[in-house]
């Protein structure tokens, strides 16, 4: 996926840019569940038709009631190809639901319809062919078409189909964009670092070519097959885990190092846009409890390395490790530009983390001691753990922890930091782009999958993602846990009728050497031959998606 983004002739849009596209094709993603902010941007993009109609009548876009009256129910075209229904279907022009391979075939066919030099797809029925042509026509008629795909279904073919569409649009001289959804906040950053897969690393331990495992902020049991993880951990002489959560992996560790969470430390992430973005520490946990030993993961690892090599600790600031990372990996060379260094000052002042109206600040530790200690000193960033520091709007800056300006309520105060009301920050968007389109470096992907046709008595496991439940960290929060559904198995109505079961029935299924017993949810839009399981929910093994199910039947009571 990283290679596609780097070599694609079309750029990757920001979330804000997505709103300005006038035709969108979503291939294989349920965006409300896998990229909710992008789903909101698409809802805004389809409304652009009304604004265009209003502009033709010389009506300003800020006249909301007039724009709605002119546009009525007209929307820009949005096409969604997904496993089943999505919450964006209500604003989509057309939706198609199918197995991942069949969705990829539609994507490849759209690319061929856009440009005849793209690989053709054999065996599409007349209904699918007509749909493909309507999608291609809408993309060609648009000023700024957008194609969206991602990793949610674990299908390489979907990524390749999206890449072919992007190449075809460029050959037709369309000013379009491509956006690929990734599973986690720093997935692209990890891809840029390179390295082998989790399975390859575990296999080396099982084979005996390695005898120690160091795990950084990950639960191996959520990444791959439990039996493989158990075999590797049993073979390892030592397991060291640096994490901020208690997991099944930390339970097996010989040594656990308490690492800082995103709120307790600073660092850099690379978003799905390919933008390096700095995140900043919210509070110092030792300020509330001096016995806490939480440190950023890189501090622990550098201390271990310095001890092993009998060397002094020379990474004492975030700037040091950021520069070392940038110099060691060419693709990450520009992460040093993601934010100002720790020495950054405005009028000789650090930037204030806390607003001037930080009521009750002096009472934060009153239950411990009424004598207030000195505030924590931040040596890693340009921010101060204090109300003292620069917080004005006169000097351009991209790092704005809060918006405040005399005479303005906080939401309205943002206009003092922007180049225009509702515009960009005067100092530019935070972070720095690591991926920019350098022209067409892609060749056509020609591995078009065959039409989905499972063997009789078997089904393919596909994931259903949930906004509340499928993401590991947020699922540990009590308010989110209240909204996580219980684990289930979803089947098409035709499959349920063939098995003679109703909604809610307890089913038994065999997959990847395991037997699962789950209640049934009948999904009217899910294709025959598919078994959908909720990704990331408790009771659902992580290594079953894409595998074959057999022995699907009503469980004995």
Q: What is the pLDDT of residues 463-479, one digit of tens each?
A: 999 999 999 999 999 99
Q: 502 forms bridges with which residues in the sheet?
A: none
For helices 100-114 and 126-141, what crossing angle results, to 10°? Answer: 50
pLDDT of 530 above 80: yes
Q: What is the pLDDT of residues 446-462, one digit of tens each?
A: 999 999 999 999 999 99
List, edge to edge, every strand of the sheet that includes 23-27.
Answer: 94-97, 78-82, 23-27, 145-150, 177-181
pLDDT at position 216, please? 96
pLDDT at position 373, please? 86
What one-character DSSP code corresponds to residue 183? S
CA 160 – CA 431 distance, rounded (Å): 28
pLDDT at position 44, please? 95
Domains of the chain: 1-181 (3.40.228.10), 183-339 (3.40.50.740), 342-427 (no CATH), 459-554 (2.40.40.20)
pLDDT range class, residue 408, cuts 50, 70, 90: confident
User: Average of pLDDT values for 332-350?
Assistant: 96
556 or 227, greater pLDDT: 227
User: Average of pLDDT values for 9-15?
Assistant: 96
CA 103 – CA 84 distance, rounded (Å): 11
pLDDT of 551 above 80: yes
User: Quick one: 515 exposed, middle or buried, by C-beta within 10 A (0-12, 13-18, 19+)?
Assistant: exposed
pLDDT range class, residue 190, cuts 50, 70, 90: very high
If you count them, how many residues does the chain have?
557
Q: What is the pLDDT of residues 72-101, one digit of tens each?
A: 999 999 999 999 999 999 999 999 999 999
| Cα torsion 37, 108, 151, 90: sign | positive
What percentage of the chain reaches a pLDDT higher than 90? 86
- Per-residue b or e along 43-57, where b marks 16 or more CB atoms closer than 10 Å to that residue's CB: bebbbbbbbbebeee
- Enumerate residues 6+ apart whose C-beta is below 8 A from 410: 402, 403, 404
User: Average of pLDDT values for 493-503?
Assistant: 94
Q: What is the 3-state secondary structure (H, E, C) of 290-359?
A: CCCCCECHHHHHHHHHHHHCCCCCCCCCHHHHHHHHHHHCHHHHHHHHCCCCCCCCECCECEECCCCCCC
CA 496 – CA 521 distance, rounded (Å): 9
CA 557 – CA 555 distance, rounded (Å): 6
pLDDT range class, residue 545, cuts 50, 70, 90: very high
pLDDT range class, residue 20, cuts 50, 70, 90: very high
Q: How many Cβ atoms are within 10 Å of 325's Cβ, its own excluded?
A: 17
- Enumerate residues 6+ apart whose C-beta is below 8 A from 165: 25, 27, 107, 110, 111, 114, 139, 147, 178
Give whole-number Cα distances, 253 to 211, 248, 347, in Å: 14, 9, 49
pLDDT at position 438, please? 85
User: Average of pLDDT values for 363-389?
Assistant: 90
Query: Distance between the two ends of the chain, CA-based, in angstroms?
Result: 45
Extract the tokens encoding 485.
């559904």
Residue 460: helix, strand or coil by DSSP?
strand
Q: What is the pLDDT of residues 122-142, one digit of tens each?
A: 999 999 999 999 999 999 999
pLDDT of 410 above 80: no
Residue 77: helix, strand or coil by DSSP?
coil
pLDDT range class, residue 356, cuts 50, 70, 90: confident
- Per-residue b or e along 461-496, where b marks 16 or more CB atoms closer than 10 Å to that residue's CB: bbbbbbbbbbbeeebeeeeeeeebeebbbbbbeebb
Tell me the backbone φ, ψ of residue 514, rounded to 5 degrees.
-125, 150
Q: What is the pLDDT of residues 478-492, one digit of tens each?
A: 999 999 999 999 999
Residue 275: helix, strand or coil by DSSP?
strand
User: Average of pLDDT values for 497-517?
Assistant: 94
| Cα torsion 482, 484, 490, 492: sign | positive
Tell me the backbone φ, ψ of residue 498, rounded to 5 degrees.
-65, -35
The mean of the pLDDT values for the chain is 94
């Amino acid at each position: 996926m990283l290679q596609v983004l780097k070599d694609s002739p079309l750029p990757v849009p920001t979330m804000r840019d997505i709103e300005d596209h006038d035709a969108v094709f979503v291939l294989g993603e349920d965006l409300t569940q896998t990229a909710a902010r992008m789903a909101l941007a698409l809802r805004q993009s389809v409304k652009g038709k009304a604004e265009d109609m209003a502009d033709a009548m010389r009506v300003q876009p800020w006249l909301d009631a007039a724009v709605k009256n002119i546009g009525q129910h007209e929307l820009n075209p949005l096409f969604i190809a997904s496993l089943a229904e999505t919450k964006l279907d209500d604003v989509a022009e057309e939706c198609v639901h199918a197995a991942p391979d069949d969705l990829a075939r539609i994507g490849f066919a759209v690319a061929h319809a856009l440009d005849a030099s793209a690989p053709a797809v054999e065996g599409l029925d007349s209904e699918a062919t007509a749909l493909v042509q309507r999608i291609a026509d809408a993309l060609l008629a648009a000023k700024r078409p957008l194609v969206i795909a991602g990793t949610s279904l674990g299908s390489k073919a979907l990524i390749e189909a999206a890449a072919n569409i992007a190449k075809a649009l460029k050959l037709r001289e369309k000013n379009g964009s491509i956006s690929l959804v990734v599973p986690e906040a720093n997935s692209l950053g990890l891809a840029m670092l390179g390295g082998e897969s989790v399975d390859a690393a575990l296999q080396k331990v099982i084979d005996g070519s390695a005898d120690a495992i160091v795990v950084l902020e990950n639960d191996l049991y959520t990444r791959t097959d439990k039996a493989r993880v158990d075999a590797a951990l049993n073979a390892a002489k030592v397991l060291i885990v640096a994490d901020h959560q208690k997991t099944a992996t930390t339970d097996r560790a010989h040594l656990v190092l308490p690492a800082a969470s995103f709120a307790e430390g600073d660092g850099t992430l690379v978003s799905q846009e390919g933008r390096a973005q700095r995140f900043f520490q919210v509070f110092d946990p030792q300020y509330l409890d001096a016995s806490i030993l939480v440190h950023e993961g890189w501090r622990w690892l550098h201390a271990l390395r310095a001890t092993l090599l009998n060397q002094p600790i020379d990474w004492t600031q975030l700037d040091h490790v950021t520069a070392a990372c940038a110099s060691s990996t060419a693709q990450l060379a520009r992460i040093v530009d993601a934010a100002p260094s720790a020495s950054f000052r405005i009028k000789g002042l650090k930037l204030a983390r806390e607003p001037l109206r930080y009521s009750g600040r002096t009472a934060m530790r009153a239950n411990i001691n009424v004598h207030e200690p000195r505030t924590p000193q931040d040596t890693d960033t340009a921010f101060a753990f204090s109300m003292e520091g620069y917080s004005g709007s006169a000097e351009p800056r991209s790092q704005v922890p809060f918006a405040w300006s005399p005479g303005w309520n906080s939401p309205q105060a943002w206009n003092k930091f922007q180049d225009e009301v509702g515009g960009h920050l005067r100092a530019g968007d935070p972070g720095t782009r690591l991926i920019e389109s350098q022209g067409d470096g892609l060749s056509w992907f020609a591995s078009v999958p065959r039409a989905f046709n499972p063997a009789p008595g078997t089904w393919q496991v596909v994931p259903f993602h949930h906004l509340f439940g499928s993401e590991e960290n947020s699922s540990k929060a009590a308010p989110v846990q209240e909204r996580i559904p219980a684990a289930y198995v979803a089947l098409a109505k035709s499959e349920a009728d063939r098995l003679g079961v109703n909604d809610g029935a307890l089913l038994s299924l065999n997959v990847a050497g395991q037997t699962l017993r789950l209640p049934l949810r009948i999904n009217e839009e899910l294709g025959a031959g598919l078994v959908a399981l909720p990704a990331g929910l408790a009771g659902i093994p992580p290594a079953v998606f894409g595998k074959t199910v057999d022995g699907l039947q009503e469980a004995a009571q």
